[in-house]
Amino acid sequence: MRKLLEVIREGEISELIAYFPEYKEIAEKYNDIYSQLVNDIESDFLRWKDIESQKEFAQQATTKNYSSILFDLRRKKYSSVKEALRNILFPSFERIMISRIPKEDLTLQPIIEE
């Protein structure tokens, strides 16, 4: 699964499918989960970015398992959610993604381990 998540994070899903069409269904499913994650982070950040108090912003941001990304966006460390996701440590990205993948799909343990 790790390799698949790396490919998704780098935006190379179409290349993966071109070389490994047998993984198209699961790759697209995980990519959809990634896209929804990006949308959720963007939505939360847009909703909370104008909160002046850092404490109040933190109260909102820390309810999410991607709070570090929200803080980085607030500090303007990254210009986009996708850039932030590409730059966080991979174990953090993996943890966030796994929390969104349905349990039955985790048992599939796909793909391309090398």
Which ranges of the chain would DSSP assign to H, the alpha helix?
Answer: 2-10, 13-19, 24-48, 54-61, 67-74, 81-87, 90-98, 103-106
Per-residue pLDDT band for 18 (boundaries 50, 70, 90) equals very high
Residue 28 pLDDT: 93
Q: What are the structure tokens assigned to 11, written together?
A: 């935006």
- Residue-wise pLDDT for 47-85, tens only, equals 999 999 999 999 999 999 999 999 999 999 999 999 999
Radius of gyration of the chain (CA): 15
Domain boundaries, the chain: 2-106
